[in-house]
């Protein structure tokens, strides 16, 4: 894995290689990055309604200025977690077929993780797999989805039940997209960044403690060089961590911090909480469990839960954080991870470990951790939540 001025390149031990680039002004008609990635191929592009309203015309103008007329089309697909389905992926394939997309053609996803996951998955199965390009417009998309190789849709009441490891032909992130992103979506991206900081990088964690309003245009302004540092550091950390285990043959993954309880928090809560918010609740619960299990001390646990709360992320969700549902989440993760738990818990800000077996999280410990978290949340609600 290596970094240059434009972004990051990865070459995995299995020979898979790809780049994730930071491209300011990616939709300016004179910017060559997207046209270069398209390379004269036929393009079928997809976006969601909100991003279409904000950036659809800019993409149309770009494609018109840079591609041969008649070789591209742009379509709007439904977004939101409830539309991250096989039916939407099939709709993407059907629109591509109607537009005459062949094996050499490329699908283009302009949007956040939802559009990227659905279109990437559609591309992985269309004609047994064609190229796709992601243009990542959310913070989650830029620091997480856009640096990895996972695509997928929800099914069988399970997040990402169907999917494929299918690296994008190009992944382009323009930080200026973040200027229109609502604060709630910025916070979701910060949750995934906190995840990387807690498991791997105390300096990044301290930076977030100092600048919890990073990337937000409605809070205390953060110096642009700090935002660049935060964006690039979390992209780099994620890619470094994924590189040796790109197709997840090893199921104990530090980057799964925040992703053991969160799938049930998302689905059982009927997606009232967004992905990043559910990840935040999961990280807080995992930290409290680590405290109960004697793996982290009170001060470090407080730092982690406190940072999430200062960012404005939820750290508890009364409706779904019940002993029954959280036990179910542990069991489902255990089953998904080859009948090992591999729960990621912090040891300190910047360092994490695994709790590998279901039996290592006794029911009464889980119950006490949930009770403690509920109490902490009361304190936060009274005092420090922004
Ligand atoms: N494949 C992976 O490796 C991976 C990694 C992390 C998350 N995910 C998945 O990604 C999804 C979450 O992605 P997300 O957080 O990007 O959510 P999202 O795609 O739903 O986007 C969030 C919201 O922001 C809007 N939006 C997007 N860009 C905008 C912009 N620039 N300005 C204004 N509004 C904008 C969207 O219309 C949407 O309403 C989840 O399904 C999660 O499971 C996948
Ligand atoms: O949300 C993320 C990463 O932030 C997704 O890539 C992904 O679903 C996570 O890695 C999950 O923890 C593992 O999920 P899965 O592959 O079992 O669905
Ligand atoms: Zn995630």
**Residue 252 pLDDT > 70, yes or no?**
yes
Q: Are 133 and 185 in contact (CB under 8 A)?
A: no
| 17-22 vs 43-47, strand pairing mode | unpaired
Which ligand is located closest to the Cα atom of residue 196? 2
**Nearest residue by C-alpha to atom 44 in ligand 1:** 145
**Nearest residue by C-alpha to atom 15 in ligand 2:** 160
Helix crossing, 183-200 with 202-210: angle to 10°?
150
CA–centroid distance, 61 to ligand 3, in Å, is 33
Q: Is 336 in the pocket of ligand 2 (CB under 6 A)?
A: yes
Q: What is the pLDDT of residues 237-250, one digit of tens each?
A: 999 999 999 999 99
Residue 220 has what DSSP assignment? S
**Residue 382 pLDDT > 80, yes or no?**
no
Q: What is the pLDDT of residues 108-144, one digit of tens each?
A: 999 999 999 999 999 999 999 999 999 999 999 999 9
Q: Is 342 in the pocket of ligand 2 (CB under 6 A)?
A: no
Phi, psi at residue 172, to the nearest 5°?
Answer: -120, 125
CA–centroid distance, 185 to ligand 3, in Å, is 13
Q: Is 256 in the pocket of ligand 2 (CB under 6 A)?
A: yes
- Rounded to two decimals, what is the model's pTM? 0.97
Q: Is 245 in the pocket of ligand 2 (CB under 6 A)?
A: no
Q: Is 105 in the pocket of ligand 1 (CB under 6 A)?
A: no
* Gap between the Cα atoms of 332 and 351, Å rounded: 25
Q: Is 146 in the pocket of ligand 1 (CB under 6 A)?
A: no
Question: What is the predicted pLDDT for the residue at 386?
Answer: 40
Question: What is the predicted pLDDT for the residue at 377?
Answer: 82
**Nearest residue by C-alpha to atom 16 in ligand 2:** 160
Q: Is 140 in the pocket of ligand 1 (CB under 6 A)?
A: yes
Q: What is the pLDDT of residues 178-236, one digit of tens each?
A: 999 999 999 999 999 999 999 999 999 999 999 999 999 888 899 999 999 999 999 99
Among left, alpha and beta (phi > 0; psi -120 to 50; other), residue 214 is: beta
* Gap between the Cα atoms of 367 and 199, Å rounded: 24
* Gap between the Cα atoms of 187 and 366, Å rounded: 27
Q: What is the pLDDT of residues 333-359, one digit of tens each?
A: 999 999 999 999 999 999 999 999 999
Question: Has the ipTM of the complex gone over 0.85?
Answer: yes
Phi, psi at residue 355, to the nearest 5°?
Answer: -105, 110
Q: Which of 158, 160, 163, 275 to mutate to test the pocket of ligand 2 (most atoms within 8 A of CB)?
A: 160
**Given pLDDT bands bounded at 50, 70 and 90, which one contains residue 385?**
very low
Q: Are 300 and 349 in contact (CB under 8 A)?
A: yes
Task: Single out the residue of 384, 375, 256 nearest to residue 308, CA to CA.
Answer: 384
Query: Average of pLDDT values for 81-87?
Result: 98
CA angle (10, 154, 315) in 5-degree steps:
80
């Amino acid at each position: 894995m290596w970094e240059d001025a434009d972004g990051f390149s990865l070459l995995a031990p299995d020979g898979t290689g790809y780049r994730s680039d930071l491209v300011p002004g990616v939709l300016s008609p004179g910017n060559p990055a997207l046209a270069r990635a398209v390379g004269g191929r036929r393009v079928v592009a997809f976006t969601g309604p909100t991003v279409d309203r904000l950036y659809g015309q800019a993409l149309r103008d770009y494609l018109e200025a840079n591609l041969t007329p008649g070789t591209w089309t742009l379509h709007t697909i439904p977004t939101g977690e409830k539309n991250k389905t096989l039916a939407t992926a099939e709709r993407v394939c059907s629109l591509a077929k109607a537009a005459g997309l062949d094996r050499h053609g490329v699908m283009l996803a302009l949007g956040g993780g939802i559009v990227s996951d659905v279109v990437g998955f559609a591309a992985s199965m269309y004609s047994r797999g064609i190229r796709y390009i992601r243009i990542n417009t959310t913070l989650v998309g830029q620091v997480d989805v856009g640096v990895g190789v996972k695509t997928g849709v929800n099914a069988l009441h399970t997040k990402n039940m169907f999917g494929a490891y299918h690296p994008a032909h190009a992944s382009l992130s323009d930080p200026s997209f973040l200027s229109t992103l609502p604060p709630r979506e910025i916070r979701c991206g910060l949750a995934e960044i906190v995840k990387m900081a807690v498991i791997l990088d105390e300096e990044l964690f301290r930076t977030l403690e100092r600048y919890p309003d990073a990337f937000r245009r409605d809070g205390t302004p953060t110096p642009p060089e700090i935002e660049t540092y935060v964006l690039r550091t979390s992209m780099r950390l994620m890619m470094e961590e994924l590189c040796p285990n790109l197709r997840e043959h090893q199921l104990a993954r530090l980057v799964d911090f925040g992703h053991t309880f969160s799938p049930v928090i998302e689905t059982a809560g009927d997606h009232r909480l967004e992905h990043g918010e559910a990840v935040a609740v999961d990280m807080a619960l995992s930290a409290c469990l680590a405290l109960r299990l004697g793996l982290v001390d009170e001060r470090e646990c407080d730092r982690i839960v406190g940072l999430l709360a200062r960012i404005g992320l939820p750290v508890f969700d009364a409706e779904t954080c019940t002993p029954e549902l959280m036990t179910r989440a542990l069991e489902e993760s255990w089953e998904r991870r080859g009948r090992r738990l591999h729960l990621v818990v912090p040891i300190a800000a910047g360092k994490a470990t695994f709790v590998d077996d279901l039996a290592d999280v006794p029911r009464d410990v889980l119950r006490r951790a949930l009770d403690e978290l509920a109490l902490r949340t009361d304190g936060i609600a009274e005092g420090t939540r922004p």
